[in-house]
């Protein structure tokens, strides 16, 4: 469904842009047609003052129709695009919240199972996080809960939380 909405928003924005550019083009042509011929050229060639009212009416209608079709089409395309964007942001928030909840659940379960002692490697394996991310998370939790750190002779870090 999301792909269809993206395609619809893209097509509507494209159509709206085409209609609006058609309208702008008609207005520019109309303005160019209505420019007076320079007085010096008119006297040399002896041109009559001529206005092509039919062409001006066609350009007016083209500009008006371009606006009538272009504005709603563009507005609808923008509305759909914003809807897809908001939906995407909400899904990202939901995924982030779910991941955070799972991480917190794993953290509390490990504290309870290990009587307050968690190792970096054990937490990284249980949470399936990269070691750097697991270390950052455990450091934040250690600061929050005033945990103690112990470094083994091999360089492994273990966190001791009071349960």
Report domain extents, the chain.
2-94, 114-163
Which one is predicted more confidently, 141 or 153?
141
Helix or strand run (H / E) with residue 150: strand 148-151
Residues pairing with 151 in the sheet = 157
* Banded model confidence at residue 35, pLDDT cuts 50, 70, 90: confident
Q: pLDDT at residue 36 above 80?
A: no
Helix or strand run (H / E) with residue 77: helix 53-113
Q: Which of 102, 137, 101 is nearest to 118 (CA)?
A: 137
Average pLDDT over residues 23-51: 73
Q: pLDDT at residue 41 above 60?
A: no
pLDDT at 39: 62
- Which 8-state DSSP code applies to residue 152? -
pLDDT tens-digit readout, 43-98? 555 556 667 888 889 999 999 999 999 999 999 999 999 999 999 999 999 999 99
pLDDT tens-digit readout, 105-128? 998 999 899 888 898 888 889 988
pLDDT at 37: 62
- Share the mean pLDDT of the chain: 87
Bridge-based pairing state of the strands 148-151 and 157-160: antiparallel
């Amino acid at each position: 469904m999301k792909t269809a909405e993206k395609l619809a928003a893209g097509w509507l924005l494209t159509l709206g842009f085409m209609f609006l550019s058609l309208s702008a083009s008609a207005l520019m042509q109309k303005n160019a047609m209505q420019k007076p011929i320079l007085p010096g050229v008119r006297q040399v060639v002896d041109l009559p003052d001529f206005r092509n009212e039919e062409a001006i009416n066609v350009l007016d209608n083209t500009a008006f129709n371009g606006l009538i079709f272009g504005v709603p089409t563009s507005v609808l395309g923008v509305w759909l695009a914003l809807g897809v964007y908001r939906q995407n942001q909400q899904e990202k928030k939901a995924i982030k919240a779910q991941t955070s909840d799972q991480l917190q659940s794993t953290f509390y379960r490990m504290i309870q199972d290990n009587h307050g002692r968690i190792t970096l490697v054990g937490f990284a394996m249980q949470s399936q996080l990269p070691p750097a991310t697991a270390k950052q998370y455990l450091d934040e939790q250690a600061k929050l809960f005033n945990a103690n750190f112990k470094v083994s002779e091999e360089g492994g870090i273990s966190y001791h939380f009071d349960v």
